[in-house]
Amino acid sequence: MENNRTGVIKSIGENMGALAAFGVVGIVGMIVLPMHPILLDILLAFNITLAMIIMLLTLFTTDILQFSVFPTLLLVTTLFRLGLNVSSTRLIMSRGAAGEIIAAFGGFVTGDNYVVGAIIFIIIVVIQFIVITSGAGRVAEVAARFTLDAMPGKQMSIDADLNAGVITDQEARIRRQNLQREADFYGSMDGASKFVKGDAIAGIVIVIINFIGGIAIFVGQKGIPFGEAIPMFGVLTIGDGLVSQVPALLISVASGILVTRSASGIDFGSELSKQLFSVPKVIAITSVVLFVLGLIPALPNLPFIVLAGLNGFLAYFLNEEEKQKIRMENAKIARPVSEVEREPENVVRYIQVEALEIEIGYGLISLADSSSGGDLLDRIAAVRRQNAT
């Protein structure tokens, strides 16, 4: 059974290219072909799941090159959302309904009040379009410019390490490739951020079209009263807009996290805790300030006092941990040197012997063949010993 599961996973991995091609073709087909509401619900749930996976993956990425496919994935997910928007618009215009997920978002999030839903939708679009996407695009643009400017210096550094024998030819080749991939990534992200901006604008336009077009069709052609059509299509269109903009917001956050991460070698959470709580005095001062705020009668006392206590305990434990590290370092420095450490250091192990290859013609083989009296190899060894000393 285990072998069968492993074989299935391996087969899916080997055919992922073909599956991705069929997926992109299917996304294009969604724009043209009608879709059943049940299938639309499944794809909307898949869209939210995919956006959540992408955002969480950026939090645990330690290097941008681990997720270098993100700019292309950003284009595919944007096209996927637009395909879902077209399919949901077709259902709203033709049936006056677009599945359970859109109805749930329209009813639960907006509270059956399309005005509240419209305000929430506008706030999400503003956060995504003006705050996150613009900032991430600017960071990607500046990072791409600085990466390109620094490429000659980094190339020279790689060549210097190669000439000094610090790295091998293969390691130098890998470093050059990673350097080029990093520059390509930031350049692609500079352009890919425009996809998210266009998606936000398209979402606003689609919501307006769904609201006005749905009312016009059902009032003019199907005879539904105007006062009944306004709340019905208000909830539907806002639900459609929210169910598409929430995944878009998650992916926008993911793009912002990815382009602003530094190559620290650890994930975001570990790096955050390591740097945020690195100075216990800051936490202690924050605790004192929160306690003073909790004593002010005009402010709610309980939240500030509780937070002051939590910060105080955290500052105490961090301070004790820092003292423990200092004591361990002092004990390590004061530790007497052992007899093994007092022995003269063997410097032979620090001498790196470089591989040497000499190509000679067929007629000169006798010079290197010791059985024929050739001493070329002995001469080379003598020269190397002379250079080493």
pLDDT tens digits for 21-60? 887 788 888 878 888 888 888 888 898 899 899 888 888 8
Same domain, 52 and 116: yes
Q: Confirm whether 344 is domain-assigned.
A: no
Q: Examine the fold and report which residue of 274, 294, 323 is the final residue of a domain before the chain moves on.
A: 274
What pLDDT does 171 receive? 84
Same domain, 357 and 311: no
What single-letter amino acid sits at 84? L
| 304 pLDDT higher than 60 | yes
Q: Examine the fold and report which residue of 223, 241, 274 is the final residue of a domain before the chain moves on.
A: 274
Same domain, 103 and 81: yes
| 319 pLDDT higher than 80 | yes
Q: Confirm whether 93 is domain-assigned.
A: yes
Q: Confirm whether 345 is domain-assigned.
A: no
Helix pair angle (2-14, 16-32), 10° resolution: 60
Number of domains in the chain: 3
Helices (H), the chain: 2-14, 16-32, 37-59, 70-95, 100-104, 114-126, 134-163, 169-220, 226-260, 268-276, 280-294, 301-334, 339-342, 365-368, 376-388
Arithmetic mean of pLDDT over the chain = 78
For the residues 322-336, what does the mean pLDDT come to? 74
Output the CA–CA distances (angstroms, integers) from residue 223 to 96, 218, 229, 269, 383, in the order listed: 13, 6, 10, 56, 101
Residues 6+ apart with CB under 8 A from 63: 263, 265
Same domain, 122 and 216: yes
Claim: this prediction has a pTM higher than 0.95: no
Structure tokens at 360: 């000679």
| 130 pLDDT higher than 60 | yes
> Which range of residues forms the domain containing residue 361?
351-388
Q: Confirm whether 98 is domain-assigned.
A: yes
What pLDDT does 340 receive? 44
| 339 pLDDT higher than 50 | no
What pLDDT does 41 receive? 87
Q: Confirm whether 43 is domain-assigned.
A: yes
165: left (phi over 0), alpha (psi -120 to 50) or beta: left
Q: In this predicted model, what pLDDT tens digit does every residue of 188-245 receive, in sequence order?
A: 777 777 777 777 778 788 888 888 888 888 877 777 787 777 877 777 888 888 888 8
C-alpha 275/C-alpha 190 separation (Å) is 28
Same domain, 93 and 133: yes
Same domain, 172 and 269: yes
Structure-derived torsion over alpha carbons of residues 186, 191, 193, 198, reported in degrees to the nearest 10: -170
Quick count: other Cβ atoms within 10 Å of Cβ 306? Answer: 12
Same domain, 178 and 298: no
What pLDDT does 353 receive? 63
Same domain, 64 and 157: yes
What radius of gyration, in Å, describes the C-alpha atoms of the chain?
32
Q: Confirm whether 7 is domain-assigned.
A: no
Structure tokens at 362: 């067929």
Q: Confirm whether 125 is domain-assigned.
A: yes
| 253 pLDDT higher than 80 | yes
Q: Confirm whether 8 is domain-assigned.
A: no
Same domain, 358 and 230: no
